[in-house]
Amino acid sequence: MRRYLRLLGVQLRMSVASAMAYRADFLVEGAMSAAWMAVALLPLFVLYGERDTVAGWDAPSALVVLAYFMGVRAVVEGVVNPSLVELVDRIRTGAFDYVLLKPVDAQLLVSGSRYEPWKVLDLLGAAGVAVYAFVLRGHGPEPGHLLVGLALFATGVLAMYALWILCAAASFWVVRLDNLTYLLSAIFDTARWPVQVFRGAWRIVFTFVIPVAVMTTYPAMALLGALDAGTALASAGGALALLGLSRLVWRAAIRSYTSASS
Amino acid sequence: MIRADELTKHFKVHRRKPGFAAALASVFRRRYEVVRAVENVSFRIERGERVGFLGPNGAGKTTTLKLLAGLLHPTSGAVTVDGYVPSKRPPELLGSITLVMGQKSQLIWDLPPSETYAMNRAIFDVPKAEFDATLAELTELLELGKLVDKPTRQLSLGERMKCELAAALLHRPKTLFLDEPTIGLDVAMQLAIRDFVRRYNQRHEATVLLTSHYMDDVVALCPRILVIDEGKLVHDGDLRQLVKTMDPDKRVSFTLTSEVGADELERLGAVILREGTRVTLRVVEREIPAVVGRLLGPLHVADLAIEDPPLEEILRAMFGKAREERAASEAAEAGGAT
């Protein structure tokens, strides 16, 4: 455990060092972050400009869902995505050999191999949107709800991470998976809306098959104090089950790794 | 100790003919072919040995190294390194081996090698004092100097290779798998790396298994060689023994100081080369004293040298012979079938 923490520290330090080499990126990323926030908020303002609720959600509550969406996306784009894009490149070039030669868990090693430190601005933006939503509601979340909300944020991130690992594992067999990751990003985009907005089959898909509800809707409901304990547990359990599945698929993928020729 | 028993690795690869029609057809009906990269290879390598792995391109050398390092799972057969099964990736084993691949890099491109070293220190959990001592030793042996603080992308190929070696050895591995570590390097750098590998082997009693396109690397470093061709082990033993078995004749080279007729030279041995006054003869070993006596006596030659045949020549003959034999047996089988 101590080894992994030290490794995490070194990986973070190196990513920050790399990021510092390109200082202009800080300004660009800051501007991009603000722009993305505006783009994310705009549809919500348009939608709620003419009505008070959508599928039982008022504007401040829907803003909390959006805050979770932005938060999960910040973590994915800041940690998961860069690392796994690098992984795919390593598999293609054969540099993944060096990962397998290390006496640490290969999945953990590649999952934190690269960070985009500037994405912390997006995370702060997400927190800002959440605070704004509660200002609109006129009161803050209760401490217990805050705790469950944060715990479900963590499991939501894990669920998204598990989906990325499944995609990355696919690259051991198909090598090019650009389309798969685009599809995953497009599906995740639906997580900006509460799952109740979707009807019929779509709601089932977004709850059980590609569980975007676990990533944003349920955590938001927990923070708002509107989620029962059973659903909270099922949500966390579902995320962990997905994580377990991704681990199994990853291990199978490693076994079939053929290593690019020298 | 490294132990390989009937080690076999097959790959299933998709094959199709060139052209659009074949590409379209392959979407619906795929043709696969089994490539027998390594076939029933067995050997033992004791601690501290330096062993060269030779064979033409695609012979299965790198695949065997990857099987030994645990990167690939064998199709059949067994392999152990220091008692561990490499494909299970036991941390104890991974902490005591290293694989250096001349054509692949583990250094982080945008950062100086020192950052990769810090990462490897964390990964291998090397205590600070031990890490500093090892890095100091490697810096001295490889003459790294300030290279470790230059961004990797600004290093020359030779400088990068030296830094790669240091990255691979910071945890003081006991077994070194070196796959073309001198590829693309100039002669001076090849010599430096060769010298370093020998000294590391002697200082740490490390086992070295080396593949190289440069025969000089193998001749200079490895008393024992394994020769692999089309996935099969065709020779395992002393380098000199291989030379003696394949071609027992010697090469006698000299410079003529006076005009000597072709007939006279042919009487001494088979003329392999004659360029101006420079001549190389192929001479049966037992006739060497007589031939040398004649060259130094009546013929008054200069710069006389007696050598074994070049390894490249022997291997070329060896692989060519093996292919001819296979082609002949396939032809005989085909003839018998009709």
What does DSSP say about strands B175-179 and B207-211: parallel, antiparallel, or unpaired? parallel
Q: Which residues of B touch A94 (CB under 8 A)?
A: 104
Kindly state whether residue B230 falls inside one of the protein's structural domains: yes
Q: Each residue of B247-257: pLDDT tens digit?
A: 888 899 999 98
Pick from B108, B118, B123: CB nearest A102: B123
Contact B62 A261 (CB under 8 A): yes
Please give, rounded to a whole number of angstroms, the shortest distance from the CA of B255 to a CA of chain A: 43
| pLDDT mean over B35-54 | 92
DSSP A60-107: HHHHHHHHHHHHHHHHIIIIIHHHHHHHHHHHHHTTHHHHHTSSS-HH
Pick from A18, A106, A255: CB nearest B110: A18
Residue A49's pLDDT band, with cuts at 50, 70 and 90, is: confident
| Tokens standing for residue B231 | 């996935």
DSSP B126-145: --HHHHHHHHHHHHHHHT-G
Question: Do residue B233 and residue B268 come from a single domain?
Answer: no
Kindly state whether residue B122 falls inside one of the protein's structural domains: yes
Residue B309's pLDDT band, with cuts at 50, 70 and 90, is: confident
Q: Is the pLDDT of residue A129 over 60?
A: yes
Q: Which residues of A touch B108 (CB under 8 A)?
A: 14
Question: Does B115 contact A at CB distance below 8 Å?
Answer: yes
| pLDDT mean over B189-210 | 90
Domain CATH number, residue B274 = 3.30.70.1150
Please give, rounded to a whole number of angstroms, the shortest distance from the CA of B27 to a CA of chain A: 14
Task: Give me the domain span that covers residue B276.
Answer: 248-308
Residue B140's pLDDT band, with cuts at 50, 70 and 90, is: confident
Question: Do residue B239 and residue B256 come from a single domain?
Answer: no
Contact B104 A94 (CB under 8 A): yes
Question: Do residue B161 and residue B259 come from a single domain?
Answer: no
Kindly state whether residue A152 falls inside one of the protein's structural domains: yes
Is B288 in contact with B228 (CB distance < 8 Å)?
Answer: no
Instruction: Please tell me which of A44-48, A67-71, B110-114, B293-297 the model is most confident about, judged by mean pLDDT.
Output: A67-71
Provide CB contacts within 8 A for B270, sequence distance 6+.
Answer: B281, B282, B283
Q: Is the pLDDT of residue B6 over 90?
A: yes
pLDDT value at position A3? Answer: 79
Kindly state whether residue B58 falls inside one of the protein's structural domains: yes
DSSP B286-327: GGHHHHHHHHHTTT--EEEEEEPPPHHHHHHHHHHHHHHHHH
Please give, rounded to a whole number of angstroms, the shortest distance from the CA of B292 to a CA of chain A: 46
> Among A144-158, B50-64, B183-197, B201-215, which stretch is predicted with the lowest mean pLDDT?
B183-197
Q: Each residue of A149-177: pLDDT tens digit?
A: 999 999 999 999 998 898 888 877 775 66
Question: Do residue B185 and residue B266 come from a single domain?
Answer: no
Pick from B71, B91, B103: CB nearest A100: B71
* Long-range interactions of B269-272: CB distance < 8 A, separation 24+: none
- How many domains does the structure of chain A reveal? 1
Question: Do residue B230 and residue B268 come from a single domain?
Answer: no
> Among A3-17, B198-212, B288-302, which stretch is predicted with the lowest mean pLDDT?
A3-17
Question: Do residue B176 and residue B232 come from a single domain?
Answer: yes
Contact A10 B119 (CB under 8 A): yes
Kindly state whether residue B132 falls inside one of the protein's structural domains: yes
- Which residues of B102-206 form beta strands (DSSP E)? 175-179
Kindly state whether residue B337 falls inside one of the protein's structural domains: no
Q: In terms of Cα–Cα distance, which of A222, A230, A239 is closest to A61?
A: A222
Domain CATH number, residue B76 = 3.40.50.300
Residue B109's pLDDT band, with cuts at 50, 70 and 90, is: confident
Question: Do residue B59 and residue B113 come from a single domain?
Answer: yes
| pLDDT mean over B107-111 | 84
Provide CB contacts within 8 A for B225, sequence distance 6+.
Answer: B51, B52, B53, B54, B218, B235, B236, B237, B239, B242
Q: Does ipTM come in above 0.90?
A: no
β-partners of residue B51 are B209, B224
Residue B287 has a CB neighbour count (10 Å cut-off) of: 14
| pLDDT mean over B4-25 | 81
Please give, rounded to a whole number of angstroms, the shortest distance from the CA of A15 to a CA of chain B: 10
pLDDT value at position A188? Answer: 85
Higher pLDDT, A40 or B116: B116
Q: Each residue of B69-98: pLDDT tens digit?
A: 999 989 999 999 999 999 989 999 999 999
Tell me phi and psi for residue B225, to 5 degrees: -130, 150
Q: Is the pLDDT of residue A98 over 60?
A: yes
- How many domains does the structure of chain B reveal? 2
Planar angle of CA B37, B43, B44, nearest 5 degrees: 140
pLDDT value at position A161? Answer: 92
Kindly state whether residue B30 falls inside one of the protein's structural domains: no
Kindly state whether residue A108 falls inside one of the protein's structural domains: yes
Cα dist from B233 to A125, A144, A162, B87, B207, whole Å: 63, 68, 44, 21, 20
Contact A7 B69 (CB under 8 A): no
Cα dist from A76 to A81, A219, B56, whole Å: 6, 17, 46
Please give, rounded to a whole number of angstroms, the shortest distance from the CA of B125 to a CA of chain A: 6
- Based on its alpha-carbon atoms, the radius of gyration of chain A, rounded to whole angstroms, reads 19
pLDDT value at position B202? Answer: 92
| Tokens standing for residue B186 | 């100039």
Q: How far is Cα B168 from Cα A262, in angstroms, rounded to an integer?
A: 17
Pick from B66, B94, B110: CB nearest A21: B110
Question: Do residue B235 and residue B274 come from a single domain?
Answer: no
Q: Which residues of B touch A259 (CB under 8 A)?
A: 66, 71-72
| Tokens standing for residue B298 | 């009546």
Residue A23 has a CB neighbour count (10 Å cut-off) of: 8
Q: Each residue of A172-201: pLDDT tens digit?
A: 777 566 667 777 788 888 888 888 888 888
pLDDT value at position B334? Answer: 63
Task: Give me the domain span that covers residue A218.
Answer: 2-255
Q: Is the pLDDT of residue B240 over 80?
A: no
| Angle between helical axes of B113-124 and B128-142 (0-180°, round to 10) | 140
% of chain A at pLDDT higher than 70: 95
Q: Which residues of A touch B91 (CB under 8 A)?
A: 103-104
> Residue A216 CA to chain centroid, in angstroms?
10
Q: How far is Cα B295 from Cα A205, in angstroms, rounded to an integer?
A: 91
Q: Which residues of B touch A106 (CB under 8 A)?
A: 89
Q: Each residue of B111-133: pLDDT tens digit?
A: 899 999 999 999 999 999 999 99
| pLDDT mean over A56-66 | 91
Q: Which one of B11, B71, B99, B131 would you mutate to disrupt binding with A, by most A Cβ within 10 Å of its Cβ? A: B71
Residue B337's pLDDT band, with cuts at 50, 70 and 90, is: very low
Q: Which one of B12, B85, B125, B182 would you mutate to disrupt binding with A, by most A Cβ within 10 Å of its Cβ? A: B125
Question: Does B104 contact A at CB distance below 8 Å?
Answer: yes
Is B130 in contact with B187 (CB distance < 8 Å)?
Answer: no
Domain boundary among B243, B262, B286: B243
Provide CB contacts within 8 A for B283, sequence distance 6+.
Answer: B249, B250, B251, B252, B268, B269, B270, B291
pLDDT value at position A175? Answer: 56
Is B82 in contact with B175 (CB distance < 8 Å)?
Answer: yes
Average pLDDT, chain A: 86
Kindly state whether residue B334 falls inside one of the protein's structural domains: no
% of chain B at pLDDT higher than 90: 39
Q: Which residues of A touch B101 (CB under 8 A)?
A: 97, 262
Q: In terms of Cα–Cα distance, which of B89, B244, B80 is closest to A254?
A: B89
Average pLDDT, chain B: 87
Q: Which residues of B touch A91 (CB under 8 A)?
A: none
Kindly state whether residue A104 falls inside one of the protein's structural domains: yes
Q: Which residue has the tokens 């047996």?
A: B329
Question: Does B75 contact A at CB distance below 8 Å?
Answer: no
Total beta-carbon pairs less than 8 A apart between chain A and chain B: 76
Q: Is the pLDDT of residue B101 over 70?
A: yes
- Based on its alpha-carbon atoms, the radius of gyration of chain B, rounded to whole angstroms, reads 25
% of chain B at pLDDT higher than 70: 96
Q: Which residue has the tokens 């100091």?
A: B136
pLDDT value at position B338? Answer: 43
Question: Does B99 contact A at CB distance below 8 Å?
Answer: yes
Kindly state whether residue B205 falls inside one of the protein's structural domains: yes
Q: How far is Cα A159 from Cα A207, in angstroms, rounded to an integer?
A: 12
Instruction: Please tell me which of A89-103, B2-16, B145-159, B162-176 the model is most confident about, judged by mean pLDDT.
Output: B162-176
